[in-house]
Structure 1
Amino acid sequence: MPIIKPITDLRDNFNYIAEICHMEGEPVFITKNGHEDLVVMSHAYYEKQQAIIESYQKLAAAEKESSDPSTPKIEHAELMNKLRSRILEKKLPIK
């Protein structure tokens, strides 16, 4: 359930709003004259949201690239074999 507070709480009880943001791990929606105005969130929550957005952007770019007919394709088994070979190469001591 969203946390909604009037703007007077932000002005008069900033520490309380900050505590809610940190304890609940959710943003607090601030209203002004009964209408939505601001969203206040902890830095950790903001960073989490930014990471999610970045992941979706990367997935969209990968999907676009994979749907391009000119992009070379590789079978799953072949890819897994290449990855396993790379991992094993890094684990083997250099003589």
Structure 2
Amino acid sequence: MPNIKPVSDLRNYNEVLRDIAIGEPVFLTKNGRGRYALVDIADYEKMQATIKLMNDIAKGEKSGKEKGWLSLDEVEVSLEISND
């Protein structure tokens, strides 16, 4: 079940921070509507890395569709990898 608290609870931020756990953000509301999410720093860093990876994959896919795909042999030559 999500942990939802009014933003006014930040007056006693130690209690709010205590409720944050890895994988379990605390959602803060303002005027009854979702406004903020507090997450553990490890979760935040993982989300940022995932977003970057997905963006890089999308760029690669777009490049492949526009400029053509490389074969494995072409990639190995480009990276100077030898299969001896």
Task: Give the counterpart of 1:31 among 15, 29, 32.
Answer: 29
Amino acid at match of 1:17: V
Decide which structure has greater helix share.
1
In 1: Cα distance, 2:2 partner to 2:46 partner: 18
In 2: Cα distance, 1:58 partner to 1:86 partner: 22
% identity of equivalent residues: 34
In the alignment, which residue of structure 2 is the partner of 1:92?
none
- Provide the aligned C-alpha RMSD in A: 2.8
In the alignment, which residue of structure 2 is the partner of 1:73?
70
In 2: Cα distance, 1:40 partner to 1:87 partner: 48
- Aligned: 1:47 with 2:45: yes
- Of stretches 54-63 and 35-44 in structure 1, the one that deviates more from structure 2 is 35-44
- Match runs of 1:75-90 below 5 Å: 76=72, 78=73, 82=76, 86=81
Return the offset for 1:2.
2.5
What stretches of structure 1 of length at least 5 have no aligned partner? Answer: 90-95
Q: TM-score, normalised by structure 2?
A: 0.72
